[in-house]
Amino acid sequence: MTVKTFPQVRKATFGAADISKEREWLLQHDREYVGEWVVLGEGHLIGHTVDSNEVAALVDKARAQGIHLPYVKFVSDRPEPVWMGWL
């Protein structure tokens, strides 16, 4: 019989992330980047790409600029579903 093991979970040392600036940026600019990955930091665009393989390089770029937790999002042309808790 095989036993499933789960990855070790560690608590972040830098506390909770405040993504309010990133959410505000997305509300204002997301339509400009439909179909692309965007990497944000402190409410500013670090970079964008259609190639998911390039996202890691953009995250590295953000970290090189001193951003500890870059915000990464794929901007879809479809609105995300709303889940209300019943089926």
Enter the DSSP assignment of 77: S
CB 59 within 8 A of CB 4: no
pTM tops 0.85: no
Name the pLDDT band for 67 (thresholds 50, 70, 90).
Answer: very high
H-type helices in the chain, by residue range? 20-29, 55-64
Contact residues for 22 (Cβ-Cβ < 8 A; gap 6+):
40, 41, 43, 71
> Each residue of 39-59: pLDDT tens digit?
999 999 999 999 999 999 999
Strand pairing class (44-49; 71-74) = unpaired
